[in-house]
Amino acid sequence: MARVIAVANQKGGVGKTTTAVNLSASFAAAEQPTLLIDIDPQANASNGLGIKTRDLEKTVYEVLVGTMSVHEAVVPTDMPHLDVLPSHINLVGAEIEIVDVKNRERLLAERINAIRSKYKFVIIDCPPSLGLLTLNALTAADSILVPVQCEYYALEGLGQLLNTISIVRKHLNPRLEIEGVLLTMYDNRLRLSNQVVQEVTRHLGEKVCKTIIGRNVRLAEAPSHGKPVILYDALSIGAKHYLDLAQEILDREKLRLSGANGTMIEAATTVQAATAAVSAVASAMQEPTVKG
């Protein structure tokens, strides 16, 4: 059964799509059958993998509104082991169309049940909001991976996101875990980047992914060539960081499958602890030790 990971943060431009695309490609490179679901109407993940979404008639939109099965809408990519369920700008309308549908937060979860046995990983790229599309992703997911950009307002809104996770766990999806907080666009020349890493790690501890994604121009260039970075420049530092992240998650997955229990208990307490930690980091970052 696939592990379903939603890449979410309602803050815009923090590296969700870059992470969803390149983590998926890295899993595929490790020969793990992977499906990337693009549930963002901007369709950046689909376009970043070279799919021309404008004229597509089989997308996540049709799947959500129920006129098509996931099987019909999934498309292969240039990479073996990597498929995509593409998005379309029409998806903007889906949020409104499904507002009155019964169990509207569970649509994606129900639809993807049919393909869970086909993949090892299903990665969902969420839009920058906490609306119905993100709620569908969190309800379908086993875990949430939260990219956080290494910048001054890094943790802005994270408290609200953790609150949403807690509500989803209570009412929609009790098994939702926090896969990790992923620090992105790290620049070791910047004191601020280093301070964000230090503070976030000090307070959020184990919930922070060991892999930190550096700022790398190849990661920014690859989507305009319609490729994940591993196909665009396999030797780049960006490609290495996402391969490291995939390995870190694979290692954790192995541990979990080997029967390390207690995960659910830990997940239950995590949200509260993380919310407190986020406030602590936020106030530490306000202190006047930060210069330049």
184 binds Mg ion (CB under 5 A): no
Instruction: Give the count of alpha carbons within 13 A of 30, CB side only.
Output: 21
Question: Is there a contact between 181 and 208 (Cβ–Cβ < 8 Å)?
Answer: yes
13 binds ligand ATP (CB under 6 A): yes
Distance CA 68, CA 75 (A): 13
Q: Site for ligand ATP (CB under 6 A): which residue of 4, 17, 46, 124? A: 17
Q: 244 or 253, CB closer to ligand ATP?
A: 244
Distance CA 233, CA 235 (A): 5
Distance CA 184, CA 161 (A): 17
Q: 115 or 150, CB closer to ligand ATP?
A: 150
15 binds ligand ATP (CB under 6 A): yes
Pairing type for strands 3-7 and 177-184 reads unpaired
CA angle in degrees (0–180, nearest 5) for 104-158-13: 85
- Residue 206's H or E segment, with its range, is none
What does 278 bind: Mg ion, ligand ATP, none (CB cut-off 5 to 8 Å by kind)? none
What does 215 bind: Mg ion, ligand ATP, none (CB cut-off 5 to 8 Å by kind)? ligand ATP
17 binds Mg ion (CB under 5 A): yes
What does 15 bind: ligand ATP, Mg ion, none (CB cut-off 5 to 8 Å by kind)? ligand ATP
In Å, how far are 94, 184, 203 from 125, measured between CA atoms? 16, 16, 26
Q: Which one of the spans 12-20, 76-84, 184-192, 264-272 is the region binding Mg ion (CB under 5 A)?
A: 12-20
- Residue 101's H or E segment, with its range, is none
Name the minimum Å distance from CB 199 to Mg ion: 25
**Under rule CB under 6 A, how many of the chain's residues touch ligand ATP?**
18
Distance CA 184, CA 214 (A): 6
Q: Helix H segments across the chain? A: 16-29, 44-48, 60-65, 70-73, 91-97, 107-112, 132-140, 158-171, 191-204, 217-221, 229-232, 237-257, 263-286
236 binds ligand ATP (CB under 6 A): no
Name the minimum Å distance from CB 194 to ligand ATP: 16
* Residues 96-135 close enough to bind ligand ATP by CB under 6 A: 128
Name the minimum Å distance from CB 127 to ligand ATP: 6
24 binds ligand ATP (CB under 6 A): no
Neighbours of 88 (CB within 10 A): 22
Q: The tokens of 105 are what?
A: 């937060």
22 binds Mg ion (CB under 5 A): no
- Whether the CA torsion 148, 151, 152, 153 is positive or negative: it is negative
Q: 199 or 232, CB closer to Mg ion?
A: 232
211 binds ligand ATP (CB under 6 A): no
81 binds Mg ion (CB under 5 A): no
205 binds ligand ATP (CB under 6 A): no
* Residues 35-74 close enough to bind Mg ion by CB under 5 A: 44
* Residues 131-190 close enough to bind ligand ATP by CB under 6 A: 184-185
Residues that bind ligand ATP (CB under 6 A): 12-18, 40, 42, 44, 128, 184-185, 213, 215-216, 219-220
Residues that bind Mg ion (CB under 5 A): 16-17, 44
